[in-house]
Amino acid sequence: MAKIIVVTSGKGGVGKTTTSASFATGLAKRGYKTVVIDFDVGLRNLDLIMGCERRVVYDFVNVIQGEASLVQALIKDKRVDTLNILPASQTRDKDALTQEGVERVLNELRKTHDYIVCDSPAGIETGAIMALYYADEALVVTNPEVSSVRDSDRILGILQAKSKRAKEGGERIKEHLLITRYDPARVEQGEMLSIEDITDLLGIPLIGVIPESQSVLQASNSGVPVVLDDKSDSGAAYLDVVARFLGEDRPMRFIEVEKKGFLKRLFGT
């Protein structure tokens, strides 16, 4: 039976879609049959980051409303054989997602996949609630700033109150904290919250820290999940996140200011 993971955060612009793309790709690279679903109906950005926007014919809403089959709507990734993408609709509103329709699609995907990654839209409205409702686990994405952490705390409350598991009194959704756009130099200068500050405020286990990096933007603009860039710190950090999720012990990297060697200090490079 497939496991459903929602990638969520109350605030927009924290890196949910980037994380969904890289996390799903990382799982697929490990050999797991994985599908990533864009729940951001009306905007749709996942297909851009995955580099498959020109291949979208049918979407998530088409499947829910019986206008296309799941097989017709799923897009097979060209780089990783075990990865599929289910894009969102750009022309419908979020009310097009129905609880029964979402459940039917997820149940169908469970039969053929190991992991279902749900890319949640920002906010706490219909699309976001639908994305987390059937989740088994959650990646709660936050930036090291007060407003982002506060919004993530609100999402934790919603996960604990409005998910299917919560409403039925079932086992609690397993929550993982992912900190993105982390810059240890700015943390030292007091311009960002530290890892300790964030974990103390949110109180859930830390699964990874993604460093602030230009490579994330470059990867997104080129339609390639940054996890496939093995030369970037961010790509390596996402690989670590996937490994930890799968139960492997990996040290946290890229969380301290890089100490310059003598020559770098001498020449200022």
- Neighbouring C-beta atoms of residue 170, cutoff 10 Å: 10
Give the pLDDT score at 204.
98
Q: Distance between CA atoms of 247 and 134, rounded to whole angstroms?
A: 22
Among 37, 28, 39, smallest CA distance to 114 is for 28
**Nearest CA among 184, 203, 202, 185 for reference residue 252:** 184
Mean pLDDT in residue range 41-49: 91
Backbone angles phi, psi at 52, to 5 degrees: -125, 20
Residue 154 backbone dihedrals phi, psi, to 5 degrees: -65, -40
Q: What is the structure's pLDDT at 263? A: 52
Q: Is the torsion defined by CA of 259, 144, 5, 224 positive or negative?
A: negative
Longest dimension (CA), the chain: 66
Q: What is the pLDDT of residue 197?
A: 97
Q: How much is the CA Rg of the chain, to the nearest whole Å?
A: 18
Q: Please report, for residues 43, 77, 149, 224, the alpha-carbon distance to residue 10 in angstroms, rounded to integers and kept in the order given.
A: 16, 28, 9, 25
- pLDDT number for residue 122: 87
Q: Select the more confidently predicted residue: 198 or 122.
A: 198
- pTM given for the model: 0.94
Q: Is the pLDDT of residue 121 over 60?
A: yes
- Compare 59 and 266 and report the one with higher pLDDT: 59
Using the CB atoms, write b or e for 212-229: b if 16+ within 10 Å. Answer: bbeebeebbeeebbbbbb
d(CA 269, CA 265): 7
Backbone angles phi, psi at 31, to 5 degrees: 100, 5
Convert the pLDDT of each residue in 206-250 to its tens digit: 999 999 999 998 998 899 999 999 899 999 999 999 999 999 999
206 bridge partner residues? 177
Q: Which long-range contacts (CB under 8 A, 24 or more apart) does 231-237 make?
A: 234/210, 235/22, 237/208, 237/209, 237/210, 237/211
Q: Is a pLDDT exceeding 60 seen at residue 268?
A: no
